Amino acid sequence: MSSGDGQQSQALTKPAFSEVQASAIVDSVFGLKVSKIQPLPSYDDQNFHVCISRTKDTTDGPNECVLKINNTESSKTPDLIEVQSHIMMFLRAAGFPTASVYRTKGDHITSLTSIDSGSEIKSYLVRLLTYLPGRPIAEIPISSQLLYEIGRLAAKLDKTLEHSEGQHAGQIGRKPEWRQGVHPGSQCSNQNRKREIVEQVIQLFKDEVMTKLSHFRECINHGDLNDHNILIESSKSACGDAVYQVSGILDFDDMSYGYYVFEVAITIMYMMIESKTPIQVGGHVLAGFESVIPLTPVERGALFLLVCSRFCQSLVLAAYSCHLYPENEEYLMITAKTGWRHLQQMFDMGQKAVEEIWFETAKSYEPGISM
């Protein structure tokens, strides 16, 4: 690991607040009394599910909320965190099931909290968000219709964000480089096959994607529509079958300037993770996305490699983060449980065979074509 990596890992050290400390933050910063608090899974920040005590003097405000404590590196960019919060509220006003932000006693969106770590004083940005109902789609068998709806949701989200772009120009971040720079040999498994695939995908990405970026349509990406960041609730149809609806969209921390095709590729990759028929997933998600934003031929031609690239990125970074934070292994390695197998299957089948499945499935959704 290079010295630069060492500095980055130190800067990104995950917050380690106790439940007592987190409860004290909710009280002192937001003026709310905690009746129950428990940690939630998270990547490099720290989240708590908080239940609020109600008294005759505190009848307003949330009953349940999420206390989000950003890592020290993210906490250095409060303007960016505020933009993320404003965009969540913008999307909620536009009809999307995103969280509301609970303001501090001083009527701010965020607050900087400092704590003595023993050797130094560390500062963390904290926010209080409303708790969204539902459960992650990772916990249910996902149907083709729900995959279609999630693809459609991803496109509608990006299209709606077009209207917020002027308000936050220059604050969200530059166009992503698909998080390049993590060397596959040092962080991922020593198995030669995995390393060979990752190295080939990285080279193909440089040759076949980086050279075509000017042909992709730009947008603001959510950037992390994975199967744990989309919540659903079920209801009964007239026939008595379970009907699922999206009830929550979580985690806007990876939002950035990017491209429409990046969003659909990220969504396809994450929807493949828990699927028993992962190769078929892409066509249903693509059909939903293209019902709102049809891709151009150049964008479609890059989709296979972009999905492979996101697999490699997620798997390598997860292994690296697991090395840094072994206590968080269960959460960090969710993708790896099936991800390596899905990536290898895609790579072995090849682009032409996978695209044929995706594009034929997507075509079946066109008017006049029965599924």
Per the document, the length of the chain is 371
Measured CA distances, 222 to 160, 258, 330 (Å): 11, 9, 24
> Could you report how far apart the first and last alpha carbons of the chain are, in Å?
51
3-state class (DSSP) for residue 238: coil
Structure tokens at 63: 């009953």
Measured CA distances, 141 to 136, 144, 151, 277 (Å): 11, 10, 17, 11
Cα–Cα distance between 66 and 38 in angstroms, integer?
10
Catalytic residue among 44, 45, 158, 224: 224
Which residues does 352 contact at the CB level (< 8 Å), separation at least 6? Answer: none
Active site residue 224: yes
Question: What number of CA atoms fall less than 13 Å from residue 85's CA on the CB side?
Answer: 22
In Å, how far from its chain's centre is CA 12? 18
Cα–Cα distance between 54 and 296 in angstroms, integer?
53
Active-site residue numbers? Answer: 224
